[in-house]
Chain A
Amino acid sequence: MHPIVKTVIQRLMLGVFTLFLVSLIIFSAIQFLPGDFGEAVLGQSATEDTVAAFRKELGLDQPAYKRYFNWVGGVVQGDFGSSFSGRASSGVDRSRKVVDLIAPRLENTLFLASMTALIAVPLALFLGITTALYRNSIYDRVVNAVTLTTIATPEFFVAYILILFLASLNQWLPSLANIDASMSLGEKIYKSALPSLTLTLVIVAHMMRMTRAAIINLLASPYIEMARLKGLSSRQVILRHALPNAWAPIATVIAFNLAYLVVGVVIVEVVFVYPGVGQLMVDAVRTRDIPVVQASALFFAGTYIMLNLIADIIGIITNPRILHPR
């Protein structure tokens, strides 16, 4: 078996193991949430009997380990359970499957993340490479100053500034990004423009600066001097000789930022009323809707692990020492 296939399989198994550990942590963390769903729904005035009956119906009276195995057993088969909300101790069960609840939100979150990534990653790479090429020039300083400013500004502030200039003073873009499944792709893009722009500003700085640093780091290598002494232009030196050796650190930082796009955008979602998973999870925590909280948290962890796995694999396949062993 090729060593890369072997490494990838190893990493995948490690990823699954990490996910299992995360599921344990999520489950135990939820046990520590104050109050419970029964009281939260039925209110202070409910009698103890009603609460107990309600808890029993939801399975909350069972010991923790049993509930954990029920949950994990379901997840492995693709069943994330039913949401707690919409249930009542009496009458019809109007609760919805967690999957039905999360799926459309997930689609929205991934839509916003991909749209942002498609703009931000090429932009960051371009800026990183060009600032490395023209390092210490005015261009380099301006780009660094601007990106530093955007990274140092809280994202909600960036969001409101953009709303002020692009939606309020000039009505170029909508300030509400309340997209839904019935919209066309063009309409979705138009509606999501502002949150996407906000996120771009927030993540470009980090990726661009790391790209620049990773390349500059290599410029002191003897093989870079050799390339210059072969008479190659600065651009050829950087694109042909520095960049191919810089992919591993660049991929890592890109993965980190893409993960943030999926798991860390709740503030931006709130500002633009964007129906993503982040908002759903915050709402679920407030109402103690445990199955939804667990499913969202697990999804976030999975995203994180997968993106890092991809970054690792890029690091491996761009390293000829591993790709072409002796």
Chain B
Amino acid sequence: MSNKAAAKGDILLEMKDVVIDGFADERWNEIIKGVSLTLRRGEVLGLIGESGAGKSTLGLGAMGFARPGCRLTSGEIIFDGIELRTMPERKKRKLWGTRIAYVAQSAAAAFNPAHRLLDQTIEASLRKGLVSEKEAKLDAVALYRAMQLPDPEHIGFRFPHQVSGGQLQRAMTAMAMASRPDLIIFDEPTTALDVTTQVNVLASMRDAVEQFNTAAIYITHDLAVVAQMADRIKVLRYGEEMEEAETREMLKSPKHPYTKSLWSVRSIHKEPKTSDDYILEIQGVDAAYGKDVKVLHDVSISIPRGKTVAIVGESGSGKSTAARVVTGLLPPVKGQVVFNGTPLSPELKHRSKDQLQRIQMIYQMADTAMNPRHTVKEIIGRPLEFYLGLKGARQEQKVIELLHKIELDEGFLDRLPGELSGGQKQRICIARALAAEPELIICDEVTSALDQIVQEGILKLLLKLQEDLGVSYIFITHDIATVQAISDEIVVMYQGKVVEQGLKTQIMTPPYPEYTQLLLSSVPEMDPDWLTNLLKERAEKKAG
């Protein structure tokens, strides 16, 4: 390692005016429109941007790799003096997995389900004949230990489906490190993880990069995450560079207005209010999938009329299951749901049409929640006809009215879902829910799949609708920034139990119950020292 450390500061990767094309609609379109970047040994560059910005394409381009349907059209990609763009793949393969490694977004999908972790970890080094099998295995165990994986001696003998998502992501970093590469491309490595897991994965990745003096390109859409990892940050949009700066500089004074918009959701503020008039009460509910898998334990949640209750928790905490119980999709084993003072029948099919009408739902994936062959008019018109009996001209008039409410216009009437943007699709789903004139809308992660700016628009729209129509929301999310923006009350759930429920201001002020503390402190902040300080704090607490 010593010669590497001595060489720190030399230019390792240089990309000049790189253009990458993708084939779509029968022609080649520019995805990356002439981007340049420089990376020195041991340095971490953050690539940030929203979906469609071309971050992954550029990151893979840095390896000289183009996905099927893409091509490296022009420019120079020089890795340690070697021009990669025009190099035949046969030769580039000698570098991949040895000197340049890749860490994919979803480790669960990027590990081959048919092979054990250990075999996959050492595969590249072994095939390239860098080390003997025995050495490779010993080294893999050492790397697992460095990545703080539990039982590093034996975890390698497990199959990918036998370990958790956070562990897989760490194993994948260990796999990338196995050949001690000069450069690692991290492609959204923590996006699929819960915040509480993310902290530890970020910490072990950062340690590994520092320990081996590896240069890295860290791709993400989350500015707060990249702030912990990167020395410099480059902002991309539509395949073009917006700006690049040292991390602290960028956070302190972003120059480009687009960069500022990247943390726009954090700018919404709402004064929390509550009420004693409850529209919905979940009372002592136990729920289970099948006979054995019990997912809710004695859950009680009250929703004040005309207010927003955010249910937060990590995956597996039971927050979506609670919504399924409310809607009647999953009859509870014990307990009941009281709506407007009357207990609801546990099963959907025994509920009255009026009860069905009063509770509506909006889903995370607007894409899959709409029939792709129905026009906007049909999608919104359907509940109008079903619940209110509106047909023909009166129905169309009402649809237009609803479109205005969601800040769209009659030009959208005959469009198909495929012709809408992500944000517009979610707006149509909101209009469809509103069409039934509900009193309560359950929003299940409705902004998770959207970019920051679009999220802001949707959240503002939901707040405005609440003011105008007095509708109540149950807002299910794992994103604390969203919770801060929209909620009156917060319910924290963990492992199928309610940790606490209360006014936003009250939940967000110490003292916290232990889990709430862990959850809140794990949310990355726009401070490059946040992770370091947090880890120090946690270590001290443990020691003390």
Contact = CB atoms under 8 A, between A and B. Distances in A.
B114 A232 contact: no
B113 A232 contact: no
Contacts of B111: 223, 226
B113 A229 contact: no
Given A222-B104, A225-B104, A236-B127, A231 B95 contact: yes
Contacts of B101: 229-230
A222 B102 CA distance: 12
Given A231-B128, A232-B97, A223 B123 contact: no
Interface in A198-226: 220-223, 225-226
Interface stretch (A107-115, A269-277, A306-314, A318-326): A318-326
A302 to B, nearest CB: 32
Nearest to A227: B112
A222 B97 contact: no
A326 B109 contact: no
Contact of A231 (B94, B110, B162): B94
A219 to B, nearest CB: 8
B112 A229 contact: no
B115 interface: yes
Contacts of A241: 112, 114-115
B124 interface: yes
Interface residues of A, number: 23
A279 interface: no
A229 B115 CA distance: 17
A226 B104 contact: yes
B110 A232 contact: no
Contacts of B114: 241, 244-245, 318, 320
B124 A231 contact: yes
Contacts of B68: 220
A223 B109 contact: yes
A77 interface: no
Contacts of B530: none
A321 B113 contact: yes
A240 B97 CA distance: 16
A233 interface: yes
Contact of A326 (B113, B123, B161): B161
B168 to A, nearest CB: 12
B93 interface: yes
Nearest to A320: B159
Contact of B63 (A226, A229, A233, A324): A229
Nearest to A226: B110
B128 to A, nearest CB: 7
B131 to A, nearest CB: 15
B332 to A, nearest CB: 27
B501 interface: no
Contact of B65 (A220, A229, A244, A326): A229
B300 interface: no
B182 to A, nearest CB: 14
Contacts of B415: none
Contacts of B97: 229-232
A326 to B, nearest CB: 5
Interface in B60-101: 60, 63, 65, 67-68, 92-98, 101
Interface in A233-292: 233, 236, 240-241, 244-245
A232 B15 CA distance: 25
Which of B95, B102, B112 has the most A CB atoms < 10 Å from its CB? B112
Contacts of A222: 104-106, 109-110
B113 A245 contact: yes
Contact of B93 (A221, A231, A321, A324): A231
Contact of A320 (B96, B104, B106, B161): B161
A228 B127 CA distance: 13
A244 B102 contact: no
27 contacts: A220-B68, A222-B104, A222-B106, A223-B109, A223-B111, A226-B102, A226-B104, A226-B112, A228-B65, A228-B96, A229-B63, A229-B101, A230-B97, A230-B123, A230-B124, A231-B92, A231-B127, A231-B128, A232-B93, A232-B97, A232-B123, A232-B127, A233-B93, A245-B113, A245-B114, A320-B161, A321-B161
Given A223-B111, A225-B67, A241-B114, 11 more contacts: A222-B110, A225-B110, A226-B104, A227-B112, A229-B60, A229-B65, A229-B101, A231-B97, A232-B93, A233-B93, A244-B112
5 closest residue pairs by CB, A with B = A231-B96, A231-B97, A230-B97, A244-B114, A222-B109
Interface of B: 60, 63, 65, 67-68, 92-98, 101-102, 104-106, 109-115, 123-124, 127-128, 158-159, 161-162
